[in-house]
Amino acid sequence: MKITKNEPPRIFRAGEDSQIRISDCGRIYLEPDEQVSFITSSGKEHDFTAKSWGFYATPSVNKRLVDQGFKTALVKNEAGRYYIMVVDVGRISDFEAYLSSEKNQVVEWIDER
């Protein structure tokens, strides 16, 4: 694994009317079968694993993520683009506000399959 930090982070705007400020903090280069774990301030984990054919972008959405306190949504925006979003169950109201402000909609809660 190789990590390259952006110092200072590259700042850019995103979202509906460019209301969201994103800090691009760097890049992580993974070889096949290497994994990084993203940890929330409350200790919840989300793993990302490189494979020879691409990536496991999430742990199992109907077991491991649920056990960590996440729901997984397939989301569609106004332009017809689809996204997978992993949502902290304690922050559903924040997620709903985000969907509304960005004019996005949940197509399906994948973890409920």
pLDDT tens by residue, 55-92: 999 999 999 999 999 999 999 999 999 999 999 999 99
Query: Tokens 């209301």 — which residue?
Result: 19
Indicate the range of 19-23, 35-39, 77-81, 90-94 predicted with least confidence: 19-23
Per the domain annotation, does 57 fall within a domain? yes
Domain residues for 63? Answer: 31-112
Number of structural domains (the chain) is 1
How far is the C-alpha of 92 from the C-alpha of 69, rounded, in Å?
A: 11
Per the domain annotation, does 9 fall within a domain? no
Report angle CA 109, 92, 49 to the nearest 5 degrees.
60
Q: What is the pTM of this model?
A: 0.87
Query: For residue 68, which of 90, 97, 36 has the smallest C-alpha distance?
Result: 90
Quote the strand ranges of the chain, DSSP E.
2-14, 20-29, 35-39, 45-51, 54-56, 70-76, 82-88, 105-109
